[in-house]
Amino acid sequence: MGTLGPSSVVGVQGGEDAGGLVHPLQDQHQKELDAGALFVLKSKGSWIHCGYHLTTSIVAPALLSLPYAFALLGWVGGIICLVTGAVVTFYSYNLISLVLEHHAQMGNRHLRFRDMAHDILGPRWGKFYVGPIQFMVCYGAVVACTLLGGECLKTIYLLSKPDGSMKLYEFVIIFGCLMLVLAQMPSFHSLRHINMVSLVLSLLYSACATGGSIYIGLSSKGPEKDYSLVGDTTNRIFGVFNAMAIIATTYGNGIIPEIQATLAPPVTGKMFKGLCVCYTVVAVTFFSVAISGYWAFGNQAEGLLLSNFVVDGKALLPKWFILMTNMFTILQLSAVGVVYLQPTNEVLEKTFADPTSGEFSPRNVLPRLISRSLSVVAATIIAAMLPFFGDINSLIGAFGFLPLDFVLPVVFYNLTFKPSRRSPIFWLNITIAVVFSTVAVIAAVAAVRQIVLDADTYQLFANV
């Protein structure tokens, strides 16, 4: 278990308390922590660092798929789902933070999602459900980032050399090499400056996507605006739940406890400030991209908005603008991928590192280098082999992000604080759990259906 008392975090990972005094129990607590908690989940960050981590984990290039979700929902449905996703996830992430703060004050600070499930729901829930689901979601996000990074690199290549012969899997490998370097950052806390840049990059490519959509929408270059829902009744119904899964995945964050673990004690109130930073960026980017993209392209919006900027190899915007937008996206994707590698890094560190040796001792550096490199190589191979991973990721989102982000937080809160059954918050939490559990099941069915429909087009190492 990676849990410890609130004072011990300072002694082990901060080294000093607020007054600059070294904690006398440092050596004792250091021995109690496993290497994953000791080296990867260092509790040294401030609330603004937490805001950077949260923004990178939520405001990712997946938001460029929001106009496509609107195409499946229409204007009213799209706006309602987008607002609901923002309100419910902000509420849920605050509930997780309150539960984590409560346990820290009780002398049992949880550093990982599976630690929370272990203590609140029971050992089997942490070991056989929450732990595997979180790993699947986070590693799936790494694969998706690697694939999307390769696609953006290919777009840049084809704009520069329309008759080029390089294949998608080659660009995926190139992006994987960048990930290979960044993955060696030793701890989550060490990513704070990268994630600050990532926040800026998310604003930049969102501004470019919004500006490009408005430009095309006002010109005669774009498609005729049609906001009607396409397909028969069955396809429309399943499309609605696919869109819900897309929006849930876009807002999804499967590493809230790990991000809060990076905060130096006392942690009270810091997560809320970090969430305010994050959701300010969410409000600016999600809504501007979703509304402008759907307004410009209607039901012709592609799964990735940037694909609408090039039609039949012809750029609808100046090439330099598309190149710049894709470059911003690629750089931020690398930061997002590394953030979602942290749960994997923590497990690898716990398994192969020695907490009694120094973090940068040969005994720990060599296993870290080998294990993290193999992890990135595996993700790159999967992304190169399965360019249709987007369909699989929708299924992962339905099974993973919806339970982790919408259902479990309210369950954790009710079990921890035991609000009265007469209180509004009890029934609000029960309603959220029931509604989003139902949505998760239906969205999973819709995702499986889409995989079956697209199965005939699947081909390993396809150059899509």
**87 burial class (0-12, 13-18, 19+ CB within 10 angstroms)?**
exposed
Least confident of 102-106, 435-439, 448-452: 448-452
Between CA 155 and CA 310 the distance in angstroms is 9
Q: Which amino acid is at 312?
A: D
Between CA 380 and CA 386 the distance in angstroms is 10
Between CA 2 and CA 86 the distance in angstroms is 30
**For residues 172, 259, 194 and 198, what is the CA-based torsion angle, rounded to 10 degrees?**
70
Between CA 227 and CA 230 the distance in angstroms is 9
Q: What is the pLDDT of residues 6-56, one digit of tens each?
A: 333 333 344 444 333 334 333 334 446 788 888 888 889 999 999 999 999
Q: β-pairing, 310-311 with 314-315? A: antiparallel
Between CA 63 and CA 427 the distance in angstroms is 31
If one counts every other C-beta atom within 10 angstroms of the C-beta of residue 463, the result is 13
Confidence of residue 70 (pLDDT cuts 50, 70, 90): very high
Q: Residue 384: how many CA atoms within 13 Å on its side-chain side? A: 16
CATH architecture of the domain formed by 3-354+363-457: Orthogonal Bundle (1.10)
What number is the average pLDDT over the span 256-278?
Answer: 92
Between CA 111 and CA 40 the distance in angstroms is 11
Least confident of 24-28, 176-180, 360-364: 24-28
Residue 106 pLDDT greater than 60, yes or no: yes
Mean confidence (pLDDT) of the chain: 87
Position 373 scores a pLDDT of 96
Bridge partners, 3 (sequence order): 110
Between CA 123 and CA 125 the distance in angstroms is 6
User: In which residue are the tokens 């459900």 written?
Assistant: 129
User: In which residue are the tokens 């280098």 written?
Assistant: 369
What number is the average pLDDT over the span 282-307?
Answer: 93
Tokens of 330: 């690629």
Position 445 scores a pLDDT of 86
Confidence of residue 389 (pLDDT cuts 50, 70, 90): low
Residue 176 pLDDT greater than 60, yes or no: yes
Residue 74 pLDDT greater than 90, yes or no: yes
Position 396 scores a pLDDT of 75
Q: What is the pLDDT of residues 324-351, one digit of tens each?
A: 999 999 999 999 999 999 999 999 999 9
Q: Determine contact, residues 36/347, Cβ cutoff 8 Å.
A: yes
**pLDDT over 70 for what percent of the chain?**
92
CA angle 214/157/163 to nearest 5° reads 110
Confidence of residue 230 (pLDDT cuts 50, 70, 90): confident
Least confident of 60-69, 138-147, 307-316, 451-460: 451-460
Residue 192 pLDDT greater than 90, yes or no: yes
Q: What is the pLDDT of residues 395-431, one digit of tens each?
A: 777 778 888 989 999 999 999 999 999 899 999 999 9
**For residues 287, 291, 292 and 296, what is the CA-based torsion angle, rounded to 10 degrees?**
160
**For residues 23, 28, 32 and 33, what is the CA-based torsion angle, rounded to 10 degrees?**
40
Position 358 scores a pLDDT of 85
Render 409-430 in DSSP notation, one character per residue. HHHHHHHHH---TTSHHHHHHH
Q: β-pairing, 109-110 with 310-311? A: unpaired
Q: Is the dihedral of CA 410, 415, 418, 421 positive or negative?
A: positive
Computed over its alpha carbons, how large is the radius of gyration of the chain? 22
Position 22 scores a pLDDT of 38
Q: What distance lies between CA 359 and its chain's CA centroid?
A: 27
Position 390 scores a pLDDT of 64
Tokens of 350: 């716990």
Q: β-pairing, 310-311 with 3-4? A: unpaired
Tokens of 9: 């975090």
Sequence length of the chain is 464
If one counts every other C-beta atom within 10 angstroms of the C-beta of residue 100, the result is 24
| Peptide linkage before 266 cis (omega within 30 of 0) | yes
Q: Where are the domains of the chain?
A: 3-354+363-457
CB contact set of 128 (below 8 Å; sequence gap of 6+): none
Helix axes 362-385, 168-182, angle to 10 degrees: 160
